[in-house]
């Protein structure tokens, strides 16, 4: 049976994420409690796992590092069809950059035995580094393929995948166990079903903290992060805007004149 781990991040709900802004007056950031949602691109990673499981025997573990409310995101993944879920949550994990995140996830994944496949989304909506997957691969000593859009052959321990490139793609052969980051073109994620929610009610998620991973506090969270934020600066807008007034037709005409002036028509 194929053992699949899907890495899922709980991210701030987009609308409230956008409201988090540097105050132009105080030039500081007003924090607020933001509702969390599953990182949209991680739905594609989970879907890829669920599709594999529809074809052959597989066990799907979802793993997420985040604050306690991220547990709800893990539970949502169980309702979507994952078999079990692990939440990595500990005050010492907070403030992790991509390096420390990947390191902590790797240490947790190492605790699960005989993993064949680790799936990540292409990027997280709030960090958007695209680094966690490849870094995870180094820490797990596994090969990695990023930007996978199709599983061409997934029989046995040697897979062939199609991965995006600028203006094209590459066909890559990989020996399992391996890490893949999945693009949003790979599939269309399913939505929650009522029966899924009912079935998942019986499933429990496991929570692991620093002690469970047997890691020194210096290797995780902010302390384990090579990079830090050194400053945050407010950006003044640069242009003086002229609002075009009038009826719809007048606005169209004026705008077309601006396009003529700009020399594009």
Partner 1 sequence: MSDHNQPVWVIAEQVRGVIPAVCLEIIGQARKLADDLGVLVEVFLLGNGISDQVDLLFFAGADVVHLGDAPDFDRYQSEIFTESIVSRAKERDPQIMLIGSTFMGRELAPLIAAKLGTGLTAHCIDLVLDENGILEQQIPAYGGMMSIICPEKRPQIATVARGVFPMPALDQNRSGKVLPVEPPKGINLRVQTLEVVHTEPKGVPLESAPVVVAGGVGAGSIEGWQEIQALAETLNAALGSTRPAVDEGWTELETMIGQSGKMVSPELYIGVGLSGELQHMVGIVGAKVMIAINNDAKSPVFEQVDYGVVEDCRVFVPALVEALKKKKAYTGRAAHVV
Site for partner 1 in 145-174 (CB under 8 A): 145-147, 160, 164-174
Q: By CB under 8 A, name the one of 32, 57, 114, 229 that touches partner 1.
A: 229
Look at residue 137 and give its three-state secondary structure.
helix
Q: By CB under 6 A, name the one of 1, 20, 128, 259 that touches ligand FAD.
A: 128
Closest separation in Å from C-beta 15 to ligand FAD: 8
Residue 73 binding ligand AMP, by CB under 6 A? no
Residue 252 binding ligand FAD, by CB under 6 A? no
Looking at beta carbons only, is 128 or 259 nearer to ligand AMP?
Answer: 128
Question: Site map for ligand FAD, 3-32, x if CB under 6 A?
Answer: ---------------x--------------
Q: By CB under 6 A, name the one of 72, 83, 126, 130 that touches ligand FAD.
A: 126
Residue 253: Cβ within 10 Å count: 13
Closest separation in Å from C-beta 18 to ligand FAD: 6
Looking at beta carbons only, is 20 or 259 nearer to ligand FAD?
Answer: 20
In angstroms, the CA 224 to CA 219 distance is 4
Look at residue 186 and give its three-state secondary structure.
coil
If we measure between CA atoms, which residue out of 95, 118, 85, 96 comes closest to residue 207?
Answer: 85
End-to-end CA distance of the chain: 62
Please list every residue from 72 through 101 that binds partner 1, using CB under 8 A: 97-99
Question: Site map for ligand AMP, 21-60, x if CB under 6 A?
Answer: ------------------x-xx--x---------------
Burial of 206 (0-12, 13-18, 19+ CB in 10 A): middle
Residue 130 binding ligand FAD, by CB under 6 A? no
Residue 118 binding ligand AMP, by CB under 6 A? no
CB 131 within 8 A of CB 120: no
Q: Which helix (H) or strand (E) holds 191?
A: none
Please list every residue from 97 through 116 that binds ligand AMP, using CB under 6 A: 98, 101, 105
In angstroms, the CA 41 to CA 129 distance is 13
Q: Is-cis flag, bond preceding 134, omega within 30? A: no
In angstroms, the CA 206 to CA 204 distance is 7
Closest separation in Å from C-beta 54 to partner 1: 22
Look at residue 43 and give its three-state secondary structure.
helix
Backbone angles phi, psi at 110, to 5 degrees: -60, -25
180 interacts with, out of ligand FAD, partner 1, ligand AMP, none, CB within 5 to 8 A per kind: none
Q: What is the DSSP letter of 241?
A: P
Give the binding site for ligand AMP (CB under 6 A): 7-9, 39, 41-42, 45, 64-66, 98, 101, 105, 120-121, 123-124, 127-133
Give the binding site for ligand FAD (CB under 6 A): 18, 126, 128
């Amino acid at each position: 049976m194929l053992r699949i781990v899907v890495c899922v991040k709980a991210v701030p709900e987009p609308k409230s994420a956008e409201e988090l802004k540097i105050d132009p007056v105080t030039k500081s950031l007003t924090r607020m409690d933001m509702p969390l949602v599953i990182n949209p691109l991680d739905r594609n990673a989970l879907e890829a796992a669920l599709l594999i499981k529809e074809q052959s025997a597989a066990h799907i573990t979802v793993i997420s590092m985040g604050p306690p409310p991220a547990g709800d995101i893990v539970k949502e993944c169980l309702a979507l069809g994952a078999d079990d879920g692990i939440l990595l949550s500990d005050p010492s994990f907070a403030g992790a950059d991509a390096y420390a995140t990947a390191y902590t996830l790797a240490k947790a994944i190492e605790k699960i035995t005989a993993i064949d496949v680790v799936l990540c989304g292409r990027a997280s909506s709030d960090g958007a580094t695209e680094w966690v997957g490849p870094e995870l691969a180094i820490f797990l000593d596994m090969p990695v393929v990023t930007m996978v859009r199709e599983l061409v052959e997934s029989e046995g321990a040697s897979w062939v995948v199609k991965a995006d490139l600028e203006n094209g793609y590459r066909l890559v052969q990989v020996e399992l166990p391996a890490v893949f980051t999945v693009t949003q073109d790979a599939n269309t994620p399913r939505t929650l079903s009522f029966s899924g929610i009912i079935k998942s009610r019986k499933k429990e998620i496991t929570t692991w903290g620093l002690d469970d991973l047997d890691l020194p506090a210096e290797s995780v969270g902010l302390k384990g992060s090579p990079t830090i934020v050194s400053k945050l600066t407010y950006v003044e807008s640069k242009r003086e805007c002229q609002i075009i007034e009038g009826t719809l037709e007048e606005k169209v005409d004026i705008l077309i004149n601006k396009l003529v002036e700009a020399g594009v028509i």
